Amino acid sequence: MAHSLSDRDVMTVSPHSLDPQEAYLKALVQTAQAVVPADLALADLRHRAEALLKEQTFPSTRQEDWRFTDLSAMLALDLGGAEEVTASESTIAALRLPETAGAQLVVVNGRFSPELSRLQGLPGGAIAGSLRDLMNRGLLPQSWGDYLGQASGSHEVFTALNTVGFADAVVLWLPRHVVVETPVQIIYLSQPQATPALVQPRALVVAEAGSALTLVEDYWGARSEAHCTNGVTELWLGDNAQITHSRIQREGMGTFHIGKTVVTQGRESQYGGTSVGLGARLARHHWEIYQTGAQTTTRLYGLTAIANRQHSDTHSLVALSHPHGTVEQVHRAIVDGRAHSVFNGRIVVARAAQLTNASQLNRNLLLSDQARVDTKPQLEIVADNVKCSHGATVSQLQADEIFYLQSRGISATQAQRLLIYAFAMEMLDKLPLASLRSALADAIAQWT
């Protein structure tokens, strides 16, 4: 049931007094608020996010963080609320990963689907399901409010927009020392509708001290219809907790995909994240990692493969504030046609984060003279006893490498595909599930 907005809730848009970007953001807020169920009000959390949005405007290339990503085409979309629909089992069956049988949470148009989800493979004590349902049944730990929407970075405009208007959220909660042996898959499916929709999936994952989890987030759908996905995932790792996280984005070519993954790590925790982006007309993923304890390990791997006029933007922030932290980040991009890839990675080492070991590398492969890459790896170091490095490369396929393979009886086309495949596989090999590696490797093999 849609939430009926009061006069106080609605932010009136006056086209004569607002510039187009400000008016558009206010219209998005109204669209987001209109789909909030009455029994998922979360009034304080949403009002704080709304207050943040009143101080901001829709991003433009005049802002440093958006300098290379132009959202003006999105301004032409009159986005409405996502309809509460379902999907057929045959549609979801094609998206299920075999290793995750019994641990699959399905979200359709931003709403959890209990009928399509499979939770019998989760261990006793683990809590999984719809935030709305778990709240209404009193099944969440009393501390849940200390996590939802409380991570650093919540002020960012699209994150705040999601907080104002997510219709439901997926919750996965692991008590202390619970180890989930079966990998967990969250399937986000966007169903196209008659008019462009704003879909805002939300996920909250809490791994208490000593727990462990392998998680796959998989974004699908919307085909070529105009559409916007604005997703936020919050992951909280307690002391000594471990999460291996894969984020796969393969939405349709009419999609504007905005994603935020924020990770808060406790002492001696280990987070390993691999992000793969193949779909969408325009995609931006913002990774934010906060090491809040000593001897914390973060490993980030990414692969972007885009062509034609696709645009992909990867932003990341890893903030270290305690000693003996470890960070390894490698991001690779394959860019063809007139596509444009952006990488902006920051590693911030505070004065207290002595004995940090951090490295960051961005490698880019251009397959067309019209392809474009903008890359900006950054290290910001205040501590004086650290080991840190960063770098970036932009290159094309080397003629001598192709010639060498041709001399071994391989055609020029096959040689090019083999080199692209090898470039991509160094990142795909980081994925923990064999079926996922195989499916994405096949997609890359047929990509050119």
Determine the pLDDT at residue 431. Answer: 97
Q: Could you count the other beta carbons within 10 Å of the beta carbon of residue 93?
A: 9
Angle at 128 between CA 133 and CA 50, to 5 degrees: 60
- Computed over every residue of the chain, the mean pLDDT equals 92
Q: What percent of the chain has pLDDT over 70?
A: 95
Tell me which of 174-178, 264-268, 269-273, 416-420 is least confident: 416-420
The token duo for 324 is 């003996």
Residue 17 banded pLDDT, cuts 50, 70, 90: low
Going by pLDDT thresholds of 50, 70 and 90, the confidence category of residue 9 is very low
Report which secondary-structure segment, H or E, holds 21: helix 20-33
Token pair, residue 213, equals: 């989890």
> Tens of pLDDT along 277-300?
999 999 999 999 999 999 999 999
* Strand, helix or coil for residue 88: coil
The span from the CA of 287 to the CA of 272, in Å, is 12
Report helix, strand or coil for 440: helix
Q: Give the CB-side neighbour count of residue 382, counting CA atoms within 13 A.
A: 11
Strand-strand pairing, 357-366 and 127-130:
unpaired
Residues 152/262, Cβ–Cβ less than 8 Å? yes
Residues facing residue 237 across a β-bridge: 207, 265
As a whole number of angstroms, the distance between CA 235 and CA 218 comes to: 16
Q: Are 340 and 370 in contact (CB under 8 A)?
A: no
Q: What is the pLDDT of residues 326-375, one digit of tens each?
A: 999 999 999 999 999 999 999 999 999 999 999 999 999 999 999 999 99
Nearest-angstrom CA–CA distance, 144 and 362 = 37
> Tokens 């791997």, residue?
301
Three-state secondary-structure class, residue 378? strand
For tokens 């071994």, what's the residue? 408
What is the C-alpha to C-alpha distance for residues 225 and 221, in angstroms, rounded to an integer?
Answer: 9
Residue type (1 letter), 273? G
